[in-house]
Amino acid sequence: MRQAGIAGSGGQPPPRRRHWVRPAIVWSYVALVGLGGLFLAPFLWALAASFKTNAAIYEYPPNFLPHPFHPENYRMALTVLPFWQFAWNTVVVTLSCVLGQLLTGSLVAYSFARLRWPGRDAWFVVLLGTMMLPPQVTMIPTFVGWTQLRAVTGVDWVDTYRPLIIPSYLGGSGVFIFLMRQFFKTLPVELEDAARMDGCSTWLTYWKVVLPLSRPVLATVAVLSFIAHWHDFLGPLIYLNSVDKYTIQIGLRMFQDINGSRMNLLMAASMIVLLPVLTLFFAAQRYLVKGIVLSGIKG
């Protein structure tokens, strides 16, 4: 009887309430789509230009879609310079730097987040200060320091990959240490206490407990570090002199100097250089967003 009363006269169910979407939400999505298209337009133009002839890029009025289609631009772009040699050099430098920043950076971040030692908070303020210091300020003193090491060690440091790789194994970047430290502070202390009760040392607790739980922030640091070193131009420009040791960004600059008028081949080479970064970003996007969000929860 009660159900019948609720259903109303005639046994009909009550009408469903209509859920109206608020205009503010609609306009927010419209604005986001518009901004996304605005930021994506230069990339789409470069992608379309990589399949055009050089004359078609400069024609007026401009035609966004390539007609006819010229995929051979990519083959020609790979043969103008020793592209694969430059790419291999970049892979060696980038992966070495990413590994160094993950290992030593996470150690430093763990000591700031969990260990108690004299002057910890003061040194953390110093670390934050390094994040505010532009790299151009320390560029010349750092270069002079690497050149003076020859007199001490008897080994050439300039025109090698050592100045590009070794700093990553000396603590890494202050930004990445800060991100990992913030994430480590969100982990429950009880997990480490339980590990110590089971007989784990500080090193084993860090290696067996903390790092396996820190995959989001480690993936975030790995992706950001990969992007930074893959696109690094200033470091290789300063320290590398031999053409066979050039990285891919220096190779693109050489390409522009030699074939600057062939914009279609330059766009094709740029798309090839950008492909690994895009692939890595979309593959690790879930961990990247999660790591950045969780790193800012606790201070």
Query: Where do the structural domains in the chain lie, given as residue ranges?
Result: 2-72, 74-295
> Is 80 exceeded by the pLDDT of residue 47?
yes
**Which pLDDT band holds residue 210 (cuts at 50, 70, 90)?**
very high
Fold of 74-295: MetI-like fold (1.10.3720)
pLDDT of 212 strictly over 50: yes
């820190």: which residue's tokens?
214
Cα–Cα dist 26/47, whole Å: 31
Residue 297 predicted with pLDDT over 50: no
- Altogether, the residues listed in the chain come to a count of 299
- The pLDDT of residue 298: 43
Distance CA 143, CA 235 (A): 10
Q: Give the highest mean pLDDT range of 89-93, 134-138, 216-220, 269-273.
A: 89-93
- SS3 at position 142: helix
In angstroms, rounded to a whole number, what is the distance separating the alpha carbons of residues 168 and 176?
11
pLDDT in tens, 84-126: 899 999 999 999 999 999 999 999 999 999 998 999 999 999 9
Query: Of residues 11 and 138, which shows the higher confidence score?
Result: 138
CA 79, CA 74: separation in Å to the nearest integer?
9
Of 32-41, 105-114, 190-199, highest mean pLDDT: 105-114
Asked if the model's pLDDT at residue 11 lies above 60, the reply is no
The per-residue pLDDT for range 251-293, each reduced to its tens digit, is 888 888 877 678 888 889 999 999 999 888 888 877 777 666 6
